[in-house]
Amino acid sequence: MTARTQGAQAPASAPARVSPEKLPADASPSARAQWLRDELERNSYLYYVLDAPTIPDAEYDALFRELQALEAEHPELLTTDSPTQRVGGAPLAAFDSVRHRLPMLSLNNGFDDEDVVNFDRRCAQGLGRTASAAPADDLFSAADAAENSVEYACELKFDGLAMSLRYEDGRLVQAATRGDGETGEDVTANVRTIKAIPLKLRGKAPAVLEVRGEVFMYRADFDRLNARQAEAGEKTFVNPRNAAAGSLRQLDPRITAKRPLSFFAYGIGELQGADRPAMHSVMLDGFAELGLPVCTERRVVKGAQGLLSFYREIGERRDQLPYDIDGVVYKVNAIAEQEQLGFVSRAPRFALAHKFPAQEMTTTVEDIEVQVGRTGAITPVARLAPVFVGGVTVTNATLHNEDEIRRKDVHIGDTVIVRRAGDVIPEVVAVVLERRPADARAFVMPTACPVCGSHIEKLEDEAIARCTGGLICAAQRKQALLHFAQRRAMDIEGLGDKVVDQLVDQGIVRTPADLYKLGVAKLAALDRMADKSATNLIAAIETSRETTLNRFIFALGIRHVGEATAKDLARHFGKLDNLLVAGEAALLEVNDVGPVVAQSIANFLGESHNVEVIEQLRAAGVHWPE
């Protein structure tokens, strides 16, 4: 089992566990089967809804196998709400149509503060509460100042698939998609595989309860699913919403059972055998008591200012949520007031979806260039036709690496889907292949670094290509200097990030050899560098001239050459000159040096720029015992 339901609401207390030893030794198969069903459902509820498991996976699996065996031996004991029925049955020929007894209507959208203020004003006026007209420079303060402000329930707008669950006498009998609002598709067999959805409600359930909610996929589960799909050579999904929708519409429920789907309840349809709660917020609390997962990211507020406060708070935390949302939803909290406000154009007057800026948009790839990172990593970047996404205008998007470009089949000239979530670097998530122009061009990875001209290497079993000009590449300059100066390398105390930033940004230092040309006056002129600090740093640089061969090799920053490998190289070759002329064959003779490490060393020392810096360091007096 894998936890899926962070953010679901827990009732005041979970039911106490009944251990297997409490059952009579001579319990009948029927009693044993019932106990096993109860125990498995209780632990699924604790695990998938409350995120508070009390038994290890192995124990749960043992109970599940026992129930399977018992039902196979006694078929008459099999029930539709048995946990064994979640694994998925035979494939369907097609989905049957389901006509919703109460339509699943859509919500009107709002996009800015004024839309929200107008929504609150309409609700207040419709309920006979005349909201004061807000002054031009403060859209909502006057309305909120009124004592009779409307009370609202605020929730998240999940980016998933709307779903209707019908329970009769507490048992799940039907699940249907929203469809066109009037008619949806019967996906009961697939929904039964979603472990967060109870097959049987807890406590005393109404004769008929239709629960409205959203099927979605947690981001972490989505990432794991895509990793499994890619590993199996199967198609990956663009985003969690597409993955959820595609999983629910599988004609083979056994496929759906393998997809990590989750569910949040947020509304009610048909209800028989019980009174409707007086408040929407109370209804959600009641759902949680019945064992249905309900999101805890909700609040009851008053007036437009309360609505906008919730919107802004969630907007700030949107990227930290474990699931995708595309806005928040406001609903008049009192059910009687909802009924009084009614509907218009097949949308409720009492509710509003306040949308966030879109995080996915389509645009075209005008070119693909590469950027060089601090560690030499070569990252392809798509130059895009400007598009407004995630609240900003985007002109560039990362393509990660050459393998990703091939996997996504991105060509220059393609129309692509671009995603931006908060401060995350925009990325190209998919190509709209049907819009590919005839003159689209495939990307070709350059063989030389665009910054320093050094050779670009891509080692075996690595996805990322890298520049081999570690000591001279301007893009890697700061990282190379910091690595060179660290305690386990040349041990230049006082040469930290802020000093390196200034030395490089002001063009004072280009390579590690330039450090040995520095004087106190030059250093003292740096920001926040006093004469004493400058003197101490010069002393540390002078001291570093005397080192050991293994420390010097490690300080060069050759990829895959750590301290242990540097010691092995120094011990094997004895002298730096021997190492400088060693080919891959000679390097492979060194203890613990394999083909990847040997190739990395050979590539680094094969760059004349790097060897030139090494000679400059020796000329500056850096030495070690031979």
157 in catalytic set: yes
Q: Is the pLDDT of residue 454 over 50?
A: yes
Condensed to tens digits (0 to 9), the pLDDT of residues 408-419 reads 999 999 999 998
pLDDT, tens digit (0-9, with 9 covering 90-100), for 521-537:
999 999 988 889 999 99
Q: Are residues 68 and 172 in the same domain?
A: no
- Token pair recorded at residue 60: 């749960």
- State how far the Cα of 148 lies from the Cα of 137, in Å rounded to an integer: 22
Q: Is 333 inside any structural domain?
A: no
CATH number of the domain encompassing residue 47: 1.10.287.610
The answer on 278 and 409 residing in a single domain is no
Residues 219 and 165 in one domain: yes
- Interval 460-498: pLDDT, tens: 778 899 999 988 899 999 999 999 999 999 999 999 999
CB-count exposure of residue 6 (10 Å: 0-12, 13-18, 19+):
middle
Q: What is the pLDDT of residue 282?
A: 97
What is residue 73's predicted lDDT score, i.e. its pLDDT? 84
Number of other CB atoms surrounding residue 587 within 10 Å: 22
Q: Which residue has the higher pLDDT, 234 or 315?
A: 315
Structural domain tally of the chain? 4
Q: Give me the pLDDT at residue 117, please.
A: 95
Point out the catalytic residue in the list 22, 157, 517, 522.
157
The answer to whether residue 426 is domain-embedded is: yes
Mean pLDDT value across the chain? 87
Per-residue model confidence as pLDDT tens digits over 331-384:
999 999 999 999 887 789 999 999 888 778 899 999 999 999 888 999 999 999
Number of neighbours of residue 17 by Cβ within 10 angstroms? 12
The pTM score is: 0.59
Q: Are residues 475 and 601 in the same domain?
A: yes
Report helix, strand and coil shares of the chain as percent, to nearest 5: 40, 20, 40
The reply to whether 592 and 513 lie within a common domain is yes
Residue 114 in this model has a pLDDT that exceeds 50: yes
Specify the DSSP class assigned to residue 96: P
Q: Is 31 helix (H, G, I), strand (E, B) or coil?
A: helix
Whichever domain contains 402, its CATH number is: 2.40.50.140
- Residue 316 included in any domain: no
Same-domain status, 297 and 166: yes
One domain for residues 164 and 244: yes
- In this structure, are 265 and 389 located in the same domain? no
Query: Are 424 and 482 within one domain?
Result: no
Same domain, 290 and 373: no
245: tokens are 């929708």
Domain-embedded: residue 137: no
H or E segment and range at residue 243: helix 240-248
**262 domain-assigned:** yes
Q: How many helices (H) and strands (E) does the chain have?
A: 22, 22
Q: How far apart are CA 547 and CA 29, in angstroms?
A: 78
Query: What's the rounded mean pLDDT across residues 421-433?
Result: 79
Task: Give the pLDDT confidence of 579-592 residue by residue, as tens digits.
Answer: 999 999 999 999 88
Is 330 domain-assigned? no
Read off the pLDDT of each residue in 157-181 and give the average, rounded to a whole number.
93
With 50 as the cut, is the pLDDT of residue 5 above it? no
Of 427, 442, 457, the position where a domain reaches its end is 442
420 and 500 together in one domain? no
| Residue 136 resides in a domain | no
Boundary of a domain, candidates 402, 425, 442: 442
Q: Last residue of some domain: 268, 283, 305?
A: 305
- Residue 486 and residue 401 in one domain: no
Please say whether the dihedral angle defined by the alpha carbons of residues 285, 290, 291 and 292, taken in this order, is positive or negative.
negative
Do the domain assignments include residue 108?
no
Domain of residue 228: give its range.
159-305
Which amino acid appears at position 196 of this protein? A
Q: Residue 273, by phi and psi: left (phi above 0), alpha (psi -120 to 50) or beta?
A: left
pLDDT reading at 1 higher than 50:
no
